[in-house]
Amino acid sequence: MASTSPVFLRLMANAVAVANHAGNIIREVMSKGDLGIVEKGVNDPQTEADRRAQQCIIGNLNKKFPLMSIIGEEDLAQETDVELVSDLDKEVLNLQCPEELRNVTEEDFVVWVDPLDGTAEYTEGMLDHVTVLIGIAHKNRPVGGVIHQPYYNYKNDKAGLGRTMWGIPGIGVGGFKPLPPPEGKRLVVTTRSHMTPVVQQALEALKPDEILRVGGAGYKVMLLMEGHATAYVFASPGCKKWDTCAPEAILTAMGGRLTDIHGTPYSYASTEMHPNKRGVLAAAKSDDHKWFVENIPDEVKQLVKGS
Ligand SMILES: Nc1ncnc2c1ncn2[C@@H]1O[C@H](COP(=O)(O)O)[C@@H](O)[C@H]1OP(=O)(O)O
Ligand SMILES: [Mg+2]
Ligand SMILES: [Mg+2]
Ligand SMILES: [Mg+2]
């Protein structure tokens, strides 16, 4: 069965299994207590968990799909002796494959990997903000996304720890229940650890009923997916393609939209620059997205235009 499934479904099904394994690594590093923090730049930490999770994800995907382009956040030599994760998530493997991806071979996919999104929050103990992001692109567009949240339910002894969400535009989503945001309220989610005067200016102009400040691009999009926020607004460079590829795929699969703050989608071709220089704007409902694009002031747009 597995070997006759389209490459895309095998890739998605393996990405789910590998993301779960990366979650185990992230919890293991934290429970051992020595995070091995390295400062890559201003307000840009990397830990042993970021490094080991990326080695695991890229090492495994490389073994299974050696001809595929895989781009990970961390700049590391790839070790060859990573623990093999050969499981395929059965539910995902048995999904219907989007028609246009049925015969696509591995060379034509590009995978964007953020082994640990929300590193600052991980080091500060805000563990539910942490996610593992694996986004799959084809012809510049996100066609599949996996978000694993290793500490889901960590405050609740009785429930299972961790969960994995996925989305395939045109097919659907799994691992969570999509919910709409509250009617008649404008709840905006934004950065907790990378605030700037321009980010603040954009937020004030939008006159939100509430501003939620949380860590990680993955976690912010999850708040949209489950109806806790209307839009994610980040009028600043800083986020990269690996932060947005998987979340965009899932959001699109449930009818939402993720673009730059001008309303233009990002391209996820392997030749693209990594930074999302024109900021991030996302909403679970495309009508809300349109409202936000129209209401972000031109002055802010001029300051975040990527040049
Ligand atoms: N200035 C920045 N430098 C490095 N990474 C950034 C920066 N701004 C945002 N990011 C990445 O985008 C994610 C979302 O940003 P924020 O939490 O500020 O909204 C961060 O968790 C971080 O990903 P990562 O944790 O994977 O390094
Ligand atoms: Mg980082
Ligand atoms: Mg990130
Ligand atoms: Mg990261």
- Both 126 and 272 in a single domain? no
Residue 34 falls in the annotated catalytic set = no
Beta strands across the sheet bearing 187-190:
210-213, 187-190, 231-234, 280-283, 257-259
Nearest atom of ligand 1 to the alpha carbon of 43: 3
163: containing domain? 2-172
Same domain, 38 and 130: yes
> Quick one: pLDDT band at residue 2, thresholds 50, 70, 90?
low
Token duo for residue 80: 């060859």
Domain presence at residue 180:
no
Measured from the CB, is residue 216 less than 6 Å from ligand 1?
Answer: yes
In a domain, 178, yes or no: no
At residue 77, the pLDDT reads 86
179: in domain: no
* 24 and 167 together in one domain: yes
- Please report the atom of ligand 1 found closest to the CA of residue 190: 19
Does any ligand 1 atom lie closer than 6 A to the CB of residue 53? no
**In terms of domains, do 87 and 210 share one?**
no
What pLDDT is stored for residue 159 in this prediction? Answer: 76
- Overall number of domains in the chain: 2
Q: Which pLDDT tens digit goes with each residue over 229-283?
A: 999 999 999 999 999 999 999 999 999 999 999 999 999 999 999 999 999 999 9
Q: Are strands 210-213 and 172-174 parallel, antiparallel or unpaired?
A: unpaired
Same domain? 154 vs 252: no
95 and 60 belong to one structural domain: yes
Q: Is the CB of 144 under 6 A from ligand 1?
A: no
If you take atom 16 of ligand 1, which residue's CA is the nearest one? 191
* pTM (2 d.p.): 0.98
DSSP letters, 233-257, are EE-SS--BHHHHHHHHHHHHHTT-E
User: Is 65 within a domain?
Assistant: yes
Residues 13 and 140 grouped into a single domain: yes
Domain finish residue from 143, 172, 201 = 172
Q: Based on the domain organization, do 159 and 200 belong to the same domain?
A: no
- Are residues 80 and 120 located together in one domain of the fold? yes
> Which CATH number is 290's domain given?
3.40.190.80
- d(CA 248, CA 289) in angstroms, rounded, equals 13
- Asked, for residue 42, whether it belongs to a domain, the answer is yes
**Do residue 29 and residue 109 come from a single domain?**
yes
Q: Is the CB of 44 under 6 A from ligand 1?
A: yes
119 part of the active site? yes
The pLDDT tens digits of the residues spanning 34-77 come to: 999 999 999 999 999 999 999 999 999 999 999 999 999 999 98
Query: pLDDT digit string (tens) for 84-128?
Result: 999 999 999 999 999 999 999 999 999 999 999 999 999 999 999
pLDDT recorded at residue 44: 96
Does residue 284 form part of some domain? yes
Q: Is residue 274 part of a domain?
A: yes
Non-local (6+) Cβ contacts of 30 within 8 A are 49, 122, 127
Same domain, 156 and 255: no
Judge whether 260 is annotated as a binding position.
no
For 181, the token pair is 């945001």
Considering the domain architecture, whether residues 144 and 197 belong to the same structural domain is answered as no
Q: What ipTM was assigned to the predicted interfaces of this complex?
A: 0.98
Is 29 contained in some domain? yes
User: Is 73 annotated as belonging to a binding site?
Assistant: yes
Q: Return the CATH number at 51.
A: 3.30.540.10
- For residue 269, the 8-state DSSP code is -
Q: Tell me if 41 sits within 8 A of 91, measured CB to CB.
A: no
